[in-house]
Amino acid sequence: MGDIYVNARFMNQVVTGVQRYAWEITNHLRDRVHIIQPGKSFSGEAGHFWEQIVLPGRMPRNALLWSPAGAGPLLVSKQVVTLHDIAHLEHLTILVVLQCFSSRQVSWLRV
């Protein structure tokens, strides 16, 4: 098996269910993976900047990246991203309809 790198941005975030999952599984794999973590806690745009720009630069070109907390850099082509909840996608069509039509048109569509 080739080298696997872990997007460990989650290690500097407030712990919720997603971060707990990522912490636990990364801890069990720590001897088999390379962990890439920001030097300090970033949130919002700074966190996204680190993940999108800095993280890819810290990896070998063709390495595999695992992003266990639901997001990863677009610049890494060999990547596995763990998605924890995609229920919102089920209702995406409804949201698009509600945004594209007036309330009167939506009422008519419901009939």
Over residues 61-99, the pLDDT tens digits come to 889 999 999 889 999 999 999 988 776 566 656 656 556
Which of residues 33 and 107 earns the better pLDDT score? Answer: 33
Using a cut of 0.75, tell me whether the model's pTM lies above it.
Answer: no
Long-range contacts of 26-32 (CB under 8 A, 24+ apart): 26/68, 29/4, 32/4
What does the pLDDT look like over 11-48, one tens digit per residue? Answer: 888 888 889 999 999 999 999 999 999 988 777 788 88
Report residue 111's pLDDT band, with 50, 70 and 90 as the boundaries.
very low
On the CB side of 27, how many CA atoms lie within 13 Å of its CA?
A: 8
- What does the pLDDT read at residue 87? 66
Q: Where are the domains of the chain?
A: 4-85
Nearest alpha carbon to residue 70 among 91, 51, 54: 51
Q: Give residue 53's identity as a one-letter amino acid code.
A: I
